[in-house]
Amino acid sequence: MTPLLSRVVVALAALPPLLLAVWLGGWWLFALCLGAALVAVHEFSALTRPLRPIVLAAYLGVAAMLVGAAIGGLPWLLGGFLVTPLAAFVLHGLAPSRQPATVAIGTTVLGTAWIGFGLGHALLLRDLSPEGFLTLLTVLLTIFAADTFAYFAGRLFGRHKLAPTISPGKTWEGFVVGTLAAVAVAFFALYEERDTYLTIPQALVLGVVVALAGALGDLFESALKRDMQVKDTGKLLSGHGGVLDRVDSLLFALPAAFFLLRAFGYG
């Protein structure tokens, strides 16, 4: 099976449960996000194993963050995050690592914040008033369009490297096409609600912000992988790599979308 065909098969298999969880919301979406977060923490821990992250503290931290987001919104999401440095400090003291506390605890906090805040904001977006389902679905579709069009545009006519030292495969041509696709998806997905929810200019701004944040999220993960000298964070999704390889764009885009919509006065 070619890498492209493998990507298509995995995407088709994952799409129905994802859409169902987004539609149902509540604890169904929580369960999906928690499962993805725990797998992502496992992949991050494997990725950064030489730095000796405190894995149990990271698991506890992301779980506390997602539970907090589900039952108490943003304040409790932030409160759940505080579990991480406390647990990491205690566990590092109980089982001394060969790494200094600064490195081990810092790595743990980084991974927990990156994954927990990113996926936690999926729950916050779903509960955002008045159009939580539509908003989260739009962000997911926008990121999917940006990634897909950037990938194919880069392969077809990409010539100028976007970030050659971090991710040599990404091009400015792919980024521009991906951003245009993201803006178009946000526009069409929200067009019917232009008189009751986001205005047309707001929808266009949302598309741009999500595309930019998604690209930065992708580059952030690429920088970590290059730093640790690995190609993929896992093999769970075959041609897609690991879970982190699939949600890296969302981990920046979901919080960016949430705070942009809060700035627009929603929620």
What angle is formed at CA 187 by the lines to CA 209 and CA 250, rounded to 5 degrees? 40
Q: How far apart are CA 230 and CA 223, in angstroms?
A: 10
What integer is the mean pLDDT of 119-132? 96
Residue with the larger pLDDT of the pair 13 and 6? 13
Tell me whether the omega of the peptide bond preceding residue 100 falls within 30 degrees of 0, making it cis.
no
Query: Over 90: is that where the pLDDT of 146 sits?
Result: yes
| 17-23: long-range contacts, CB 8 A cutoff, minimum separation 24 | 18/140, 19/137, 22/126, 22/133, 22/136, 22/137, 22/140, 23/133
Q: In this predicted structure, what is the pLDDT of residue 158?
A: 86
Query: Over 90: is that where the pLDDT of 26 sits?
Result: yes
Q: Where along the chain do its domains lie?
A: 26-127, 131-267
What integer is the mean pLDDT of 124-151? 95
> How does pLDDT run across 67-94, given as a tens digit for each residue?
999 999 999 999 999 999 999 999 998 8
Maximum CA extent, the chain: 59
Q: In this predicted structure, what is the pLDDT of residue 233?
A: 76
Q: Indicate the pLDDT class of residue 237, thresholds 50, 70 and 90.
A: low
> How does pLDDT run across 169-226, given as a tens digit for each residue?
899 999 999 999 999 999 999 999 998 999 999 999 999 999 999 999 999 999 999 9
Q: How far apart are CA 242 and CA 235, in angstroms?
A: 5
Residue 102: exposure state from Cβ atoms within 10 A (0-12, 13-18, ≥19): exposed
What angle is formed at CA 20 by the lines to CA 16 and CA 22, rounded to 5 degrees? 120
